Amino acid sequence: MATIQWFPGHMAKARREIQEQLKLVDLVIEICDARIPESSRNPMMNEIVQQKPHLLVLNKTDLADPKQTKAWQQYYEAQGQPTIVTDAQHQNPLNLVQQKANEILKEKLALRAQRGIKNMTIRAMCMGVPNSGKSTFLNRLVGKNVAVTGNRPGVTKNQNWLKTKQNLEILDTPGILWPKFDDQEIGVKLALTGAIKEGLYHEDDVTLFALDYFRNYYPQVLTEKLGVGPKQLELSDPDLLLALTKKFGFKDEYERMAQKIIFDLRKGSLGRITLEQAPVSATEA
Ligand SMILES: Nc1nc2c(ncn2[C@@H]2O[C@H](COP(=O)(O)OP(=O)(O)OP(=O)(O)O)[C@@H](O)[C@H]2O)c(=O)[nH]1
């Protein structure tokens, strides 16, 4: 996981580098975390990508709520943003990407064919915020582990094309973009999913957010996974954390209980949870 600190100079440099890379590709593949689709997208994505065809990937769907993943996909598609869903840890998304890329680039490919150009190779680059799964996704597409360095500030790179088994070639350096860290709640969600380095956030604050979120959207996590009884459900979030601390044998060391909840949430043992709900219009569709 990246440990970059994003300063204005770094952001400007990343943006410049990505804009250079964009000139080389037909398609941008933006990877985000399906558990926090909005919070794991760069705020200036559309501005950075501009007119370049753009495929959005909701990754890590094995950890996300399937209903929400579907609703988010519908929401983005309805906005005209081609979107696929995948779990690059366990699946190879190559066919899905190729199919969608062919659709997105239909006119460009038809034009090439008209001009008698035989080469139908689509050149693409991956980009996304840290921890969204860019390296995992890229390695899956190319079917091997390539050393991915990313365009971290200060790292010089040569452009190399990685071949896939389809008509798709991928730039070997994914673009790393900064997340929307100016909003506190976004920071909390990024921390809960493991996108922020330990020590840079307060585990208890992050856990209190999670308890409140479970209460509102996934009460079964409290009742079934954490064994919270009806009386304890009436407690305030801090008191609930203390009650759970005792229940799990951590005495009054609530930090340990907080760490356990964060750890269990990240590895999926509290169930498949999406930490931001798709807009209602998408869920009703
Ligand atoms: N469960 C699950 N884990 C995933 C998936 N994709 C990636 N991961 C895990 O998420 C973490 C981050 O994945 P990376 O591929 O390193 O992400 P990245 O975007 O390249 O990260 P940076 O190098 O920080 O920019 C790793 O621990 C991966 O194993 C997925 O689809 N499902």
In tens, the pLDDT along 169-208 reads: 999 889 999 998 778 999 999 999 999 888 889 999 999 9
* Tokens of residue 161, six digits: 């094309």
Average pLDDT value for the chain: 91
Assigned domain for 85 exists: yes
CATH of the domain at 116: 3.40.50.300
88 in the same domain as 45: yes
Distance, in Å, from the CA atom of 43 to the CA atom of 238, rounded to the nearest integer, reads 32
The pLDDT assigned to 152 comes to 47
Is the same domain home to 155 and 235?
no
Looking at the domain assignment, is residue 68 inside a domain? yes
Helix 254-267 to helix 203-217 angle (10° resolution) is 60
Of 106, 141, 176, at which residue does a domain stop?
176
Does residue 101 sit in the same domain as residue 136? yes
Q: Are residues 227 and 161 in the same domain?
A: no
Confidence grade of residue 97 (pLDDT, cut at 50, 70, 90): very high
187 in any annotated domain: no
* DSSP for 118-162, written as a single string: ---PEEEEEEESTTSSHHHHHHHHHTS--------TT------EE
Considering the domain architecture, whether residues 134 and 218 belong to the same structural domain is answered as no
Q: Which atom of ligand 1 is nearest to the CA of 139?
A: 15
- pLDDT tens, position by position, 60-79: 999 999 999 999 999 999 99
Return the number of other C-beta atoms located less than 10 Å from residue 130's C-beta: 22
> 220 and 169, same structural domain?
no
SS (H, E, C) 100-129: HHHHHCHHHHHHHHHCCCCCCCEEEEEEEC
Residue 156 pLDDT greater than 60, yes or no: no
On the question of pLDDT at 284 being above 70, the answer is no
25 and 73, same domain (yes or no): yes
70 Cα distance to chain centroid = 15
Instruction: Identify whether residues 129 and 226 lie together within a single domain.
Output: no
Best residue for ligand 1 mutational test, from 1, 145, 270 (most atoms within 8 Å of Cβ): 1
Confidence band of 151 (pLDDT split at 50, 70, 90) = very low
Task: Say what the ipTM of the complex is.
Answer: 0.99
In a domain, 257, yes or no: yes
pLDDT at 266: 96
Bridge partners of residue 227, in order along the sequence: none
Q: Which of 2-16, 25-39, 268-282 has the lowest mean pLDDT?
A: 2-16
Q: Greatest CA separation found in the chain?
A: 74
Neighbour count for residue 209 (Cβ, 10 Å) = 18
Residue having the nearest C-alpha atom to atom 12 of ligand 1 = 131
Q: Is residue 191 part of a domain?
A: no
pLDDT band, residue 254 (cuts 50/70/90): very high
- Structurally, the chain folds into a number of domains equal to 2
- Rounded to two decimals, the pTM is 0.93
Quote the Cα angle for 225-230-241, to 5°. Answer: 60
Region 211-232: mean pLDDT is 97
Most confident of 96-100, 127-131, 156-160: 96-100
Query: Which residues line the annotated binding site?
Result: 59-62, 131-136, 175
Q: Do 227 and 119 fall within a single domain?
A: no
Name the residue of 5, 10, 135 to mutate for ligand 1: max ligand atoms within 8 A of Cβ: 135
Task: Decide if 197 is inside a domain.
Answer: no
Q: Is residue 1 part of a domain?
A: no
pLDDT at 146: 75
Q: What tokens does 198 get?
A: 């330990």
For residue 231, tell me if it sits in a domain: yes
> Average pLDDT in the 257-274 region?
97
Question: Which of 141, 176, 211 is the C-terminal boundary of a domain?
Answer: 176
Contact between 174 and 138 under an 8 Å Cβ cutoff? The reply is: yes
What is the SS3 assignment for 58?
Answer: strand
Write down which residue in 110, 141, 176 finishes a domain: 176
Ligand 1 contacts CB of residue 63 (under 6 A): yes
Distances (CA, A) of 254 to 102, 126, 208, 242, 251: 52, 40, 11, 6, 8
pLDDT band at residue 159 under the 50/70/90 scheme: confident
Residues 134, 12: one domain? yes
Domain that holds residue 258: 202-284
* CA 209 – CA 237 distance, rounded (Å): 8
Pocket probe for ligand 1: among 6, 89, 138, 272, the residue whose CB has the most ligand atoms within 8 Å is 89
Clarify whether residues 84 and 134 are in a common domain: yes
Same domain, 134 and 227: no
For residue 150 and ligand 1, the question of a CB distance below 6 A is answered with yes
